[in-house]
Structure 1
Amino acid sequence: MNQTQTSLYERLGGHEGIARITRTLIENHMANPIVKTRYANSENLERVERRVVEFFCAGAGGPETYSGEDMLTTHRGMNVSEQEFVSVIDDAMAALDTHGIAPDARNEVLAILWSLKGEVIRV
C-alpha cells in the first residue's frame, strides 16, 4: 500500500504514535510562554491529553470515537487569540517533526488544524 492509500492515522503511527505525538505536543505547550498558562491552569491535564488523543485519532481516520465536546463548545468563552492559535499549531508541527512524521502527513495535519480556526479563535 502506498502513502496515498494509507490513512493519515496509519501514517501517524496509529493510536500509539498519536499518543506519543500528543504527549510531546502537551510538553511543547507547557514550555511555550504564549499558551503555557492555559495548560498549566487546567483542572485535569490528563483528561485534556486523553481527549486530544481521541480527537486526533478519530480525525485522522482511526477507529477511536471522540467523547469530548465539539470544538466550538470547547473553546467558547476562552477568547483564544490568533497568536495563541498559531502558536498551538507551531507546537503541533514541532511535535510531528520530533517524531519524524513525513512532510505529506504534516501538511495534512496542518490543513486539518487550520480548518478549525473559526471554531477556536475568539468564540
Structure 2
Amino acid sequence: MSTPLYERLGSARGVSALVDRIVDAHLANPEINPRYQALKEDPERMAQAKQHLRNFLGEGSGGPEKYEGRSMLEIHRGMNISEGEYMAVLDDILKSLDAHGVDEETRRDVLAIAYSLKDEIVRV
C-alpha cells in the first residue's frame, strides 16, 4: 500500500506551507493576480481563504481537516474563468509542489484532483 496523499504532502504542516506558497504564486502571476487583489487588500479575508484552501486540500487528500465552504461550482459561478487562467493556476500549483520537493507520483495525484474539478471552475 502506498503512503496516503495527505502524508506525502507533509500532513497539516506541509499542506499549510503549500497553500501559502500557492497563494503567493497566484499573487505574483500577472495572468491571474487581478482575481486575488481583493484578498490581498483584506488580510482577514486572505486568512479565511487560506484556511478554506487548507481544509479543502487537507480533506481532499485524506487528512482529518473538514472543508465546510461552498462547492467549487458555487465559488466559481459567474467568474467566467478562462482556460488560460485555469492553466495558470495549475502551473502555480505544480511549481509550488516542485519547490516543496514533492515527488512525481504526488504531483500527478494532485494534478488529477485539480483536473477533476475543471468543469466546476472554467466558464461557469
TM-score, scaled relative to structure 1: 0.94
1:40 paired residue among 20, 37, 40: 37
Quote the residue 1:25 is aligned against: 22
Residue pairs, 1:10-21, within 5 angstroms? 10-21=7-18
Distance 1:46 1:91 in 2: 19
Question: What SS does the aligned partner of 2:113 have?
Answer: helix
Gapped regions of structure 1 (runs ≥ 5)? none
* Number of positions where the alignment pairs a residue of Structure 1 with one of Structure 2: 120
Distance 1:51 1:35 in 2: 19
Q: Percent same amino acid at aligned positions?
A: 42
Q: Which has the larger share of helix?
A: 2
Amino acid at match of 2:12: H
Quote the residue 2:65 is aligned against: 64
Amino acid at match of 1:86: M
In the TM superposition, what is the alpha-carbon distance from 1:46 to its structure 2 partner?
Answer: 1.3
TM-score, scaled relative to structure 2: 0.94
Q: Which runs of 4+ in 1 moved over 6 A?
A: none
Distance 2:12 2:32 in 1: 25
Distance 2:87 2:6 in 1: 23
Amino acid at match of 2:106: A
In the TM superposition, what is the alpha-carbon distance from 1:93 to its structure 2 partner?
Answer: 0.4
The root-mean-square deviation of aligned C-alpha atoms, in Å, is 0.9
Quote the residue 1:5 is aligned against: 2
